Structure 1
Amino acid sequence: MADPIALVALALDAAIGWPDRLYAWVGHPVGGFARFLNACERHGNRPDRSEATRRALGVATILGLIALTGAAAWWLDREAHLLFGRWGWIASAVLAWPALAQRSLYGHVRPVADALMRGDLPAARSAVARVVGRDTQRLDQAGVSRAAIETLAESFCDGIVAPLFWLLLLGLPGVWVYKAINTADSMIGHKEPRWRAFGWAAARIDDGANWIPARIAGVLVCVAGAGGWAVMKRDARAHASPNAGWPEAAMAGALGVALAGPVSYDGVTQIKPWIGRGGRSATPADIVTGLQIYARACLLLWIVAGGVAWLA
């Protein structure tokens, strides 16, 4: 049996997440990635540079972030084993723990449902605005519910399945390199003119890093939700992202609701295809059911992590 690093990291995350007091004391590793990316963007993505230059500097930025993160994680993992000997794997699990987001994701989505359940739409809009990039000020109950369910499904991949996948495959360097890539995509991997050239490499690398995990996430949601297979197969590719559509379509099918569709960013409405077309409008109760599916899907990941440790 191999050391159950992934299983212990999952347990730590589920039990205590990343507490606010700990965040206030030491911050979070993702904050270091953000500072690096902001510094590189300020110097490399100036509007006076040509598009080709900005793209090249964007490639250099993401490759530099990957190299630095991988080297730091490898060194920490090695030092943990040198310092603690046979118990070094526990230190590795502790170092991997902040890369997972089971408790955090639940803790961000549940308040949206709670606010809607008590009829406080403004509070629900405020809560969902913390986890989505779209305009939320004019969303009705169905729009808020839909936004919460979409971010729950998509973040299940980005925040739990993909980090765990890379942790199991490549150990501590794998999970933190993935988190660095995903952070870069969320910060600079956008299609708007300002970011299109500089963030091109970050977006493409993130697509590759999430390709397998997204499909695994979709399967887990279907298993946990006892349905959704047909909708996932039909609508997964309707999403603009090559990956996000898989868990979103699985969740839409499992709940019997329609997700995606028209959405507004910075006052501009974008017409997006419906995922789960033909399904009913989402309700607050669907957020609660979605969270239950999410919790069961996370439990399936615990079983996978335990099985890998047992069989390795």
Structure 2
Amino acid sequence: MAEPVALAALALDAALGWPRPLYRRIGHPVGLFAMLIEACEARWNCPERSFAARRTFGSLTVLLLILLVGGTAWLIQSLLLAHLGDWGWIAAALLAWPALAQRSLFDHVRAVAVALDHGGLPAARIAVGAIVGRDTGALDESGVARAAIESLAESFCDGVAAPLFWLLALGLPGVWTYKAINTADSLIGHYEERWRAFGWAAARTDDLLNIVPARLSGVLLCLAGRGGWRILWRDAGKHASPNAGWPEAAMAGALGLRLAGPIAYDGVMQAKPWIGDGGERVSSLDIGRALHLYVAACAMLWLIAGGAAWAR
């Protein structure tokens, strides 16, 4: 069932994204995950608790997410198969559609390029601030463009390749459990003192779920760009994350750019290593090149989903 569901969900996402009127009316499913995570954090991540206790409660939060989200998705998928038969995959595709972010990611990154070209640097900083967590107020044009391209590379894995991988592997329970864990990692999987213990399980579980999709993302970006392999193998391990460096290094290598480098978070500069070769000058034209690469890599995911459906 997962194969035609995946292909149909990809098509729906590419055509429609997650429509703004729908978002305004009902929000997005990850908002429900965020509410649960924040409620657990407020109740269990108390400063007076020991490090071990906070780590235990953080692990319990992850387990709760897996059981609630995965269990609910499994129940829904089972009911669809039982009551709709061969037509159940259509309903499943509609339910899987919001878990993918091809169109949304493309639109958000393209908005940064448009802002750089027509709205000026202040508008571009606002646009890129919507998709990155770093400080954007002092970024120059190259810094804005670099941040947009890095986000595109990492989110190709988190927002497209990984959800599709788990949808193909485990159906609705797989894709929505992945999205729940990825949301937890985004909210609490940080190294700061407040999160280090409580968010440990979320970060490690997200790392585990992304091992294969991240490497697949890197390979697809290099295939789409017809190069970048040397930088992929050399620089993928430079990233603090065991997974994010793969698509980022592949993007840098395929485009001949230098990404990452020193980045400021909450006013504190972090001396991150550079990934890739080339000068520090990056422009809106490079964002356009990155988007073309991204579209080509997404097309390869369509081929994978289509091939899986045909083989079934």
Whether TM exceeds 0.5 here: the answer is: yes
State the partner residue of 2:116. Answer: 116
CA-to-aligned-CA distance 1:4-63 (integer Å, 9 cap, x gap): 110000000000011011112222110110000000000000111111110000000001
Task: Provide closer, same or farther for how the CA distance between residues 128 and 2 of structure 1 changes in structure 2, counting only shifts above 3 A.
Answer: closer
SS at match of 1:135: coil
SS at match of 1:118: helix
Task: Provide closer, same or farther for how the CA distance between residues 277 and 3 of structure 1 changes in structure 2, counting only shifts above 3 A.
Answer: closer
State the partner residue of 1:206. Answer: 206
Letter in 2 for 1:68: L
Structure 2 counterparts to residues 267-286 of structure 1, below 5 A: 267-286=267-286
Q: 1:2 offset after TM fit, Å?
A: 7.7
In structure 2, what is the Cα distance between the partners aligned to 1:127 and 1:281? 19
State the partner residue of 1:149. Answer: 149
In structure 2, what is the Cα distance between the partners aligned to 1:18 and 1:278? 36
- TM-score, normalised via structure 1 length: 0.98
State the partner residue of 1:6. Answer: 6
Matched, 1:297 2:265: no
State the partner residue of 2:19. Answer: 19
Matched, 1:229 2:223: no
RMSD between aligned residues: 1.2
SS at match of 2:123: helix
In structure 2, what is the Cα distance between the partners aligned to 1:131 and 1:254? 22
CA-to-aligned-CA distance 1:252-294 (integer Å, 9 cap, x gap): 0111110000000111100000000444522110000000000
Q: 1:79 offset after TM fit, Å?
A: 1.7
State the partner residue of 2:90. Answer: 90
CA-to-aligned-CA distance 1:96-154 (integer Å, 9 cap, x gap): 11000000001110010011122611000000000000000010000000000000000
Matched, 1:188 2:188: yes
Task: State, as a whole percentage, how many aligned pairs show the same letter.
Answer: 64
Letter in 2 for 1:199: G
Runs of 4+ residues over 4 Å off in structure 1: none
In structure 2, what is the Cα distance between the partners aligned to 1:261 and 1:66? 35
In structure 1, what is the Cα distance between the partners aligned to 2:4 and 2:277? 41
Task: Provide closer, same or farther for how the CA distance between residues 257 and 2 of structure 1 changes in structure 2, counting only shifts above 3 A.
Answer: closer
In structure 1, what is the Cα distance between the partners aligned to 2:215 and 2:76? 31
Contact 2:37 2:61 (C-alpha < 8 Å) held by counterparts: yes
Q: Structure 1: 5+ residue runs without aligned partners?
A: none
- TM-score, normalised via structure 2 length: 0.98
In structure 1, what is the Cα distance between the partners aligned to 2:116 and 2:91? 41
In structure 2, what is the Cα distance between the partners aligned to 1:310 and 1:140? 48
User: How many pairs are equivalent?
Assistant: 312
Contact 2:2 2:167 (C-alpha < 8 Å) held by counterparts: no
In structure 2, what is the Cα distance between the partners aligned to 1:272 and 1:233? 18
Q: 1:190 offset after TM fit, Å?
A: 0.3
State the partner residue of 1:46. Answer: 46
State the partner residue of 2:173. Answer: 173
SS at match of 2:47: coil
Contact 2:100 2:163 (C-alpha < 8 Å) held by counterparts: yes
Of residues 24-33 and 55-64 in structure 1, the stretch that sits farther from structure 2 once superposed is 24-33
Contact 1:3 1:89 (C-alpha < 8 Å) held by counterparts: no
SS at match of 1:269: strand
